[in-house]
Amino acid sequence: MRGSERSLKIVAKDPDHFTDAVNILSELILGRIEAASAGRKFILSSYDTTGFTEGLDSLLQLPETFSFEEKLVLLLAITPNIQPGFLEDIMAKALPQGGEFVAFGGIKGQQHRGILPTGETALFMLAGTDIKERLRYQKMFNSDGLFAIHGMLQIESAPHGEPGMSGRLVPDPDWLEKILLGKEAAPVYSIAFPARKITTNMNWADLVLHPQTSENISDIELWMLHHQKVQEDRSLGRRIKPGYRVLFYGKAGTGKTLTASLLGKKFDLPVYRIDLSQVVSKYIGETEKHIELVFNRAERKNWILFFDEADALFGKRTNVQSSNDKFANQEVSYLLQRIEDFQGLLILASNFKHNIDDAFLRRFHNVIHFPMPSAKERYKLWTQSIPDSMKSHADIDWRKIASTYEITGAEIVNVMYYSALKACSRNDTTLWQDDIYEGIKKELKKQDKTFSY
């Protein structure tokens, strides 16, 4: 069989897997079209050779053993990104006089000028016009199939009233980027993914928290380390929902965002902060749509989702007095259901616990308070923030400053930053007390508080 002969190229030294795999796929589809046109039987399994499947495994980098047919569908789905005119070339060879082959499927893109493969294209490649076989292979696109479980491929929704398999094959963009570029890059911030990756150069030693807060944070770490083992238990595993939901609440600057970033850093997981300016919309249903885009992208990626200023989305439901109240309550109800389905770590941050709807609080595994730092904690924050390249003047009493001025860790960093800039402006390496006091005065003024020595 020609497929067996061509597959020898796959196992050659330093093989070009893209070129070889696409060439064999082209030959396979042409053979299927010719067989269907002539009423001959087509043997798909004859292409299931060791060389070809090894080439596909190397190319597709699948997380587990997929069937040969599933590998073919994945290869078909990525061909427009490898060879834009792939399906046009096939149809030109199959129909040199022109015309259409309806059973082949395919659709024109809005910007892409070539033919894009659809679910019908995949079914024809695998089963031709055999109705029984087409229905059997169609099951691989169900929600319990490997494509859906791993989030690697889906069929785009077809217009109302048209066959569902006429939708375009859409590979997961992160997986596709990994295949084409050799690594899975972070998603680009856009309306389609309104979230930004947050990182920090700080370490756990830089985070000064109340002992009770630290103890609660350790509960999250406990879940991160051992939740999979518990979920595998036949008795308890079926009684608990996947994922871990936690609320951080406390005044701005007390370490909520930093804690989320450090958790991601410790467990080597990306942390994405949802941009509420892009998520919340005045149009009915758009807010839910934007949130769903984020959850769908993060699903099965093992990302940490961080909703800052969560009051805007997860606020209390109100009595329905207008249509706006009704739709706002619908948004909250949607979120209640959606956060329970998320399988990773979901962190909500708010300045005030009572702003969050009670129904969300019942669904949280942990509610962690980030209080204002005590005088002892503020002293530690002040001394840790002193620049390595500078020294403090002898007249600065850090313990007195820590006990006198009740400000957050973020505000302390702002004061130290201001004082360091003033020192640099003098070509000096010494922090002055007057600069420290002036910095504190600026921070208190932001809150309409008075400053006194």
pLDDT tens profile 362-383: 888 999 999 999 999 999 999 9
Of 392, 385, 432, which is closest to residue 410 (Cα–Cα)?
A: 385
- Give the model's confidence band at 10: pLDDT under 50 very low, under 70 low, under 90 confident, else very high: very low
- 34 vs 14, more confident: 34
- Spell out the domains of the chain, with CATH numbers in brackets: 2-181 (no CATH), 195-369 (3.40.50.300), 375-446 (1.10.8.60)
Q: What per-residue confidence (pLDDT) applies to 362?
A: 83
CB of 243 within 8 A of CB of 346? yes
Q: For residue 189, what pLDDT is reported?
A: 75
Which pLDDT score is estimated for 323?
45
Residue 8 has pLDDT above 80, yes or no: no
Q: Which residue has the higher pLDDT, 30 or 237?
A: 30
Res. 285: pLDDT tops 70: no
Q: What average pLDDT does the segment 110-115 reach?
A: 88
Q: How confident is the model at residue 110 (pLDDT cuts 50, 70, 90)?
A: confident
Q: What span, in angstroms and rounded, lies between the C-alpha atoms of 146 and 126?
A: 17
The confidence band for 282, taking pLDDT boundaries of 50, 70 and 90, is: low
What is the distance between the alpha carbons of residues 435 and 419, in angstroms, rounded to a whole number? 5
* Dist CA 145 CA 65 (whole Å): 13
Q: What is the mean pLDDT of residues 109-136?
A: 93
The whole-angstrom separation of Cα 74 and Cα 57 is 11
More confident residue, 268 or 151: 268
What's the residue count for the chain?
Answer: 453
Question: Average pLDDT of the chain?
Answer: 86
Instruction: Say if residues 97 and 56 touch (Cβ distance below 8 Å).
Output: no
In percent, the amount of the chain with pLDDT more than 90 equals 55
pLDDT for the residue 237: 77
Please give the pLDDT value at position 13: 36
Distances (CA, A) of 448 to 103, 190, 408, 451: 72, 37, 15, 10
Question: Tell me, what's the pLDDT at 45?
Answer: 93
Angle of the 173-181 helix axis to the 68-82 helix axis, nearest 10: 80
Which pLDDT belongs to residue 336?
75
Q: How far is CA 314 from CA 18, 104, 180, 349, in A?
A: 47, 47, 39, 10
pTM of the full structure: 0.73
109: exposed, middle or buried (C-beta count within 10 Å: 0-12, 13-18, 19+)? exposed
Residue 317: predicted pLDDT:
46
Report the candidate in 141, 123, 119, 122 with the shortest Cα–Cα distance to residue 132.
123
pLDDT digits (tens, 9 = 90+) for 186-205: 777 777 678 889 999 999 99
pLDDT at 244 over 80: yes
412-433 mean pLDDT? 96
- Number of helices (H), then strands (E), belonging to the chain: the values are 20, 12
